[in-house]
Structure formats: C-alpha cells, structure tokens
C-alpha cells in the first residue's frame, strides 16, 4: 500500500482542476478518507464531484490503496480541522488552535492558544492562560498534530473575527459526507 503523500500527489492536481482543494488524506486498514474544501465551503455536491474525480484515479493505482475491498470516503475537513501544511497554518493565523507535540515542551504535550505566526521552520502560539507577551515557538518536527478550535461567542481581535467568520461560513458543510463507496480494485466491470 502506498503512502498518503502518494495519494495526495495523485489526487491533488485532479481536484484542483475540478475547482476543489485537497485538504487531507487519511488511510487506514480498509478506508481511504479524502478531505476536500473549496472557497466558500464544501457541500454535498462538491464532495460527490470529488469522489467522481478521485475514484477512477485510485482504481488505476491499486498499489496506493489498502489491499482488497476498501471504502473511499470523501468529506469536508469540518469546522475543527487538522492543519498539516504551512499554507493551511497561514490561513489560521489569529485563530484558536490546539497543538499536540511529539514530546513534552515546557512540561506538556498539549498546548492551546492563538496561532500567531508560521513559516517553513516554526509555528508560534500565544498560550491561552499565559501573559500577553508569552509565546511558545515550536519547530514543525516537534508537532504531532494541530487542530483548529471552534470558538463560540464573541471574539476579541480583528484577525480572530475574520477567522471566525471564515470558519462559520463552513459550518453548514462541516458534516457533508457525499461518498462512502466500497471499492474492489479487482472489479473492473460496471
């Protein structure tokens, strides 16, 4: 079975051509999960279109998918989404995030606060319960997982307001699952 990066390299350009953005790829024992988005948020029809684009590509590359019968799931990344790429992080500067590190940093593996900066090397976080000048700087290789956090109620900073408005436009599409189809790569008939 191939890696998520191989599936990303295969599916990304095709989805971009269809006006969609590949957000993430997850592969487990019998599931290939593709998370897609587009400006303004993804809906059921967008997920169905992504499935129509991706399914034949994966059928042509059985080395990239779990052996035997597997499910292809195409859905929205949701309101609270995992951030993996520098570009994804950049979109959420000013937003609340939770970061799990690969090992303890300043005595903890879980950190919560406002994302203040990102580049190719580091991510900076203003921890929620820290002083106004406190920043936690993490190298990308120290980060196991980062997720955005949906903040209910009024926000305080202009960048947080913009981020919350961007996230709230996607709330309706957050649970759209257009396609869950079982695929048998050996089945070439219709």
pLDDT tens digit string along 171-190? 333 334 444 445 554 554 44
pLDDT at 131: 84
- Please tell me the total number of residues recorded for the chain in this structure: 190
What pLDDT score does 133 carry? 86
The domain spans of the chain are 4-78+173-183, 82-168
Spatial contact of 178 and 45, defined as CB atoms under 8 Å apart: yes
What pLDDT, on a 0 to 100 scale, did the predictor assign at position 130? 85
pLDDT in tens, 27-59: 998 999 999 999 889 999 999 999 999 999 999
- Cβ–Cβ contacts within 10 Å for residue 124, how many? 16
CATH number for 82-168 (one of 2.60.40.10, 3.90.550.10, 2.30.30.100, 2.40.50.140): it is 2.30.30.100
pLDDT at 184: 55
Provide the pLDDT for residue 165.
46
Tell me the β-bridge partners of 37. 21
C-alpha dihedral sign at 132, 84, 23, 73: negative
Question: Which pLDDT tens digit goes with each residue over 65-121?
Answer: 998 889 999 999 999 999 999 999 999 999 999 999 999 999 999 999 999 999 999
Count of helix runs (H) and strand runs (E) in the chain:
4, 10
Query: Residue 168 — very low, low, confident or very high, per pLDDT cuts 50/70/90?
Result: very low
Provide the terminal-to-terminal Cα distance of the chain, rounded to the nearest Å.
Answer: 24
Supply φ then ψ for residue 16, to 5 degrees.
-60, -40
Percent of the chain scoring above 90 in pLDDT: 69
pLDDT value at residue 118: 97
Please give the Cα distance from 136 to 77 (Å, whole number): 26
Query: According to CATH, what is the number of the domain 4-78+173-183?
Result: 3.30.300.70
Q: According to the model, what pLDDT value does residue 167 have? A: 46
- Rounded mean pLDDT of 120-130? 94
């Amino acid at each position: 079975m191939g890696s998520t990066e191989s599936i990303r390299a295969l599916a990304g350009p095709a989805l971009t051509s269809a006006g969609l953005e590949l957000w993430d790829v997850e592969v487990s024992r019998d599931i290939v999960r593709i998370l897609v988005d587009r400006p303004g948020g993804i809906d059921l029809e967008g997920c169905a279109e992504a499935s129509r684009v991706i399914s034949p590509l994966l059928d042509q590359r059985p080395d990239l998918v779990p052996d035997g019968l597997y499910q292809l799931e195409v859905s929205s990344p949701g309101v609270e989404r995992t951030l993996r790429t520098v570009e994804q992080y950049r979109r959420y500067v000013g937003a609340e995030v939770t970061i799990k590190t690969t090992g303890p940093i300043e005595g903890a593996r879980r950190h919560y606060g406002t994302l203040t900066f990102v580049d190719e090397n580091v991510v900076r976080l203003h921890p929620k319960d820290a002083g106004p000048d406190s920043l936690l700087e993490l190298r990308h290789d120290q980060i196991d997982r980062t997720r955005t956090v949906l903040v209910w109620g009024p926000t305080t900073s202009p960048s947080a307001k913009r981020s919350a408005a961007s996230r709230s436009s996607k709330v309706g599409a957050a649970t759209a699952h257009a396609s869950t189809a079982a695929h048998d790569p050996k089945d070439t008939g219709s």
